[in-house]
Structures are given as structure tokens and as C-alpha cells.
Amino acid sequence: MSQTSKTDATEAPPALLPLDAWHRARGGRMVPFAGYAMPVQYEGIVAEHLWTRGHAGLFDVSHMGQLLLSGEGFVDAAEALLGVEVAGMTVGQLRYGLLLNEAGGILDDLIVTRRDDALFIVVNGATKHDDIDHMRANLPSGVTLDHLAEQGLLALQGPEAAAALARHVTGGRLEDLAFMTGGSFVIQGVQVWISRSGYTGEDGFEISVPASDLEAVADLLTSEPEVKPIGLGARDSLRLEAGLPLYGHDLNPESSAIGAGLAFAFGKRRRAEGGFIGAEKIQRDLADRPAQRRVGLAIEGRMPAREGAVIFVGEKQAGVITSGGFSPSLERPIAMGWVDAALAEPGTAVEIEVRGKRIAATVTPMPFVPHKYVRKGS
């Protein structure tokens, strides 16, 4: 999911999140992000990263767009819009999907949840208004898309997240949720929607809360000894270790969804029958394979390669870094990038130009750090 937005002097000042004062009171260093002022860190990115890997971190992701698709024929309308197999979803089930344009370019990545008589869709903050316009323009009459602007969103991530959250949840059994499922619960008298999902590779939850109750819920969760507030910096390093793409960096309208390794976002039936916006491009790339692929890169030495660094094989430019940094968990630099398909096999040696020097790197499988999702039956 997306973590970027571009700003310049002509743009409006960043909007304030419902928890803006809450973040500042806890020492959050605020930066412009996706049109909002958001905390990049509190006590330090590395410390927050390692705390989340070992305990539980609370992220404010209220900048994300929370949408509700409903009305007569909403399932068919969603399948015409997305490659997700909506018709086969059970109530409470989540699926990852992509929003494509007619040419098959990626406009955004998103999470779709089946509710009783609607779809709950979470999109990236920097793209949410364009996403809404695109969806509404392609929905039939009688099917509506509501922006749930009154809802905030918290992500509680880490191996101790379930224990900390369970102390405050009523109205259902939190332990019945497996990865990529969700349900309605109550926290301190507040009706919330909780999904077992996230963007760190850890077990964790995303909690949709009325904005008016967001501070009370955040206070409650951070009162637990396992939980600390975590900023955008650690969120980015955690998702990189997990090998998860970032819209606007690793994914964009020129990216091939298949080359990005995201064929799973299109159900088997949908891949075969098409019938959704951008389907022709997806089917063509499945048959012919795209010229470039998204890969992980293990980098020798201590110098990280950042976005935009060029990947070489000999004197040939063979790709570009789209995400990169120092891994606090592995204590070495890692990166993600796009390379010519012939170089995408794990073990392939390449070089990356960083500050005018070439550093050695090796194509490696992702994730860099194993996922720890709690799946059904585990």
C-alpha cells in the first residue's frame, strides 16, 4: 500500500488527522505525507522497527481511504471493475486487489472485504480521491460508492498485538479471526471493524474506528505494556523487509501487475474469463510474460541503495531500484527493484550504482524476513 505523496510550494498545507495533537503530545515528528501531516517517528526509526518485530506497534493510518460499495448488483459491478473474485467471497473475507485503467496500468492497490450486503474497500491515501472518481465513473446506476470519511484507521502490528488487543475486545472472539478475515467487534463501548491484516509481515490487525472515538481507542491500546506508537519510517522499513510493494514507488501506471508478482490478485476464474477493466493486458502478460520483473536484492557491504539507483550487468543498464534501505532486523542493506526478466532468477549477480560507485548485489527471493501471519488452521 502507498506511502508517498509529492508536495510543492503551490499545494495547500497538509490536512490534520484526527489524532494530530495526540501524535505531537507523544513526541511524533510530523511530516507532509499523502496530503496530511503524519508522524514519521517518535523515538527513532530503528528502535520503533525492532519494537514492532518483538512486541506490538500502533500505526495511525487514517489517511487511507475507507470506501463502501453497495446497491443492487454490487457484486457484478465490482467484478467488472476489479479482477478480484468477489462472487466467491464469504462474509468477513479479505482479498488483495488492484485498480487498473483500460490499458492495464496500475492506478492503485487495495484491500476488499466482503460484508453482508456491501464491499468494504481500503485504498491508499495519496490516490483515494482519484480512485473514487475512477470507480464512480465505471459503476452502473443503482450501485453506490460511499467515502467513509468519518472513520479513522489504526493498525496494531507485531507478535504481541493479539494479546494486547484481546484484553479490550468484546462482541466476538478475536481469536476466531485468521489472516485476511475480519468482523465487527466492540472496544470500550465503541463499534469497530477489525481485520487480521497489515503491512509489516507480522501478525496484526487493522481497526476501523469512528474518528470521534479514535483517541480513546488509541489511548487504550498504548496503555498496554506491549504497545508503542510507531511512525511512517518504521512502517516503510518493515514493509520492505516483508517484500511488500509500495504504490507510487514499486507500482505505478506503467508497471506490469504480472511482472510485479501480483498474479494472485486476479482470481483463477477472473484470469481465464477476463471481463474487468484492464483484463486484456493481464491476460497478455500471463501468456507472454513481461520484459521486466520486480525482484529482491541483497546488497554487499553497508551502503544502502535508494530509489532511483541504476542496476547494471557489466556496462548494460538492466533495471532500477524502486525501494531500498538498511534492514534493522538483518543489519544489512536490502532493496527491491525492477530488472530485465532474464536476470530475475535468484542468485543472479548484478551491480548497483550508488554515489558514483558500483556495489555488488544478488537477486534474492522475497520476503527478506519471513511473514508471521496467523493463517486458518495454524
Residue 105 has pLDDT above 60, yes or no: yes
Average pLDDT over residues 266-284: 97
Q: How confident is the model at residue 147 (pLDDT cuts 50, 70, 90)?
A: very high
Distance separating alpha carbons of residues 32 and 38, to the nearest angstrom: 6
Helices (DSSP H) in 34-73: which residue ranges?
45-54
Residue 5 has pLDDT above 80, yes or no: no
Residue 7 has pLDDT above 80, yes or no: no
145 neighbors 132 (Cβ within 8 angstroms): yes
Residue 75 has pLDDT above 70, yes or no: yes
Q: What is the pLDDT of residue 211?
A: 98
pTM > 0.85: yes
Query: In Å, what is the CA distance from 119 to each residue of 106, 115, 271, 277, 322?
Result: 20, 6, 21, 18, 31
Strand pairing partners for 326?
A: 333
Q: How confident is the model at residue 250 (pLDDT cuts 50, 70, 90)?
A: very high
Residue found under cell 500500500: 1
Residue 326 has pLDDT above 60, yes or no: yes
207 neighbors 179 (Cβ within 8 angstroms): no
Task: For strands 36-41 and 292-299, give the pairing.
Answer: unpaired
How high is the mean pLDDT of the chain? 96
Distance separating alpha carbons of residues 108 and 309, to the nearest angstrom: 24
Residue 118 has pLDDT above 60, yes or no: yes
Task: For strands 56-60 and 227-229, give the pairing.
Answer: parallel
Summarised one tens digit per residue, pLDDT across range 328-339 is 999 999 999 999
Q: What percent of the chain clears pLDDT 70, i.e. is strictly above it? A: 97
Q: What is the pLDDT of residue 376?
A: 86
Q: What is the pLDDT of residue 266?
A: 97
Q: What is the pLDDT of residue 10?
A: 58
Distance separating alpha carbons of residues 378 and 256, to the nearest angstrom: 33
Q: How confident is the model at residue 378 (pLDDT cuts 50, 70, 90)?
A: low
Summarised one tens digit per residue, pLDDT across range 163-182 is 999 999 999 999 999 999 99
Q: Helix, strand, coil proportions of the chain in percent (round to 5)?
A: 25, 35, 40
